[in-house]
Copies of this chain bind each other. A is one copy, B any other.
Amino acid sequence: MQIGMIGLGRMGASMVRRLMKAGHECVVHDINPASIADLARDGAVGAASIEDLVGKLQKPRVVWLMLPAAITRKVAGAVADFMEAGDSIVDGGNSNYRDAVDQAALFSKKGLNYLDVGTSGGVWGLDRGYCLMIGGPDEAVKRLDPIFASLAPGADAGNAPDGAAGTAPYGYLHCGPSGAGHFVKMVHNGIEYGIMAAYAEGMNILKAANAGAQSRDADAETTPLDEPHYYRFDIDLAEVAEVWRHGSVIGSWLLDLTAGALKADPELLKFSGRVSDSGEGRWTLKAAIDTGVPAPVLSTALFDRFSSRGEAEYADKLLSAMRFAFGGHVEKPKSPTAGENE
């Protein structure tokens, strides 16, 4: 079928390619003309403006937005201005699910459908297919089924559904009314942060398994490592990540990627350790707080990312200031120290 795509960045462009490969017709637009030209060369219909794009679509029109959350609302409004009752706007980006609730209410007055599609799969989605979590009105979602089916991994992903009903085994799911798709995607990312932190902490412990083999200052203030002979292992982290992929309880796609990353760069020298977070992890916790659901693992994982970016610095300085105030403890430049009678 035919679809319009606005936003031809890493994600948007790949999705267009995957759709075209499946035989769909894509009308595409981006603020960067080169991105349009790239896809036009491969068979997409380029559109010079939002108006142009909407004009090139047959009714009922479908425009998919693959944009940064910060500008999605504005672009959706601009698209809606050219649309008519029965048309659909799809937000495939990382927007707050609340936007979809609001936007759907707003646009429904004009007879437009607003769909929110959480999209997971990253740069691998082009080949592997995208996992789609969909919110929106039943009929509009149903009409877009061929698009979803083509973007999703489908039954050929090795995990063939055995007589399963529904579309979930194919990698896409209508989760509920507008907002439900991004809500599920939001929680997905919250979980993702927790899982990533679990691997990262574990690997960090394995890395320290040879702490007992390292010499330490015989400083009277330093707590000595108890029983150093229990910490004399030089663990090959890349090999461990690899072996866990085969038959262990913690096998996962993230572990597959981790094993690859560690094989290529065991010391991770390419990275400084400032870990970004997108909005979803934050919104997940706000939802947990609103609804009174305990989420200490997910929150700890998120806050660790904040700390990785230096955001705990003032708090840490205050701890040092307190220690100095009650115990006269002066900060040490390195390694754990023994406080004196705190």
Contacts and interface: CB of A to CB of B under 8 A. Distances in A.
A340 B187 CA distance: 15
A163 interface: no
Given A243-B131, A311-B294, A233 B120 contact: no
Contact of A235 (B157, B175, B308): B175
Interface stretch (A38-46, A79-87, A315-323): A315-323
Nearest to A198: B194
Question: Helix, strand, loop or mixed for chain A's interface?
Answer: helix
Copies in the complex: 4
Interface residues of A, number: 179
Contacts of A65: none
Interface in A182-226: 183-184, 187-209, 211, 220-226
A25 interface: no
A104 to B, nearest CB: 11
A137 interface: no
Contacts of A21: none
A293 B306 contact: yes
A289 interface: yes
B201 A198 contact: no
A253 B275 CA distance: 26
Interface string A274-300: 111111101011111111111111111
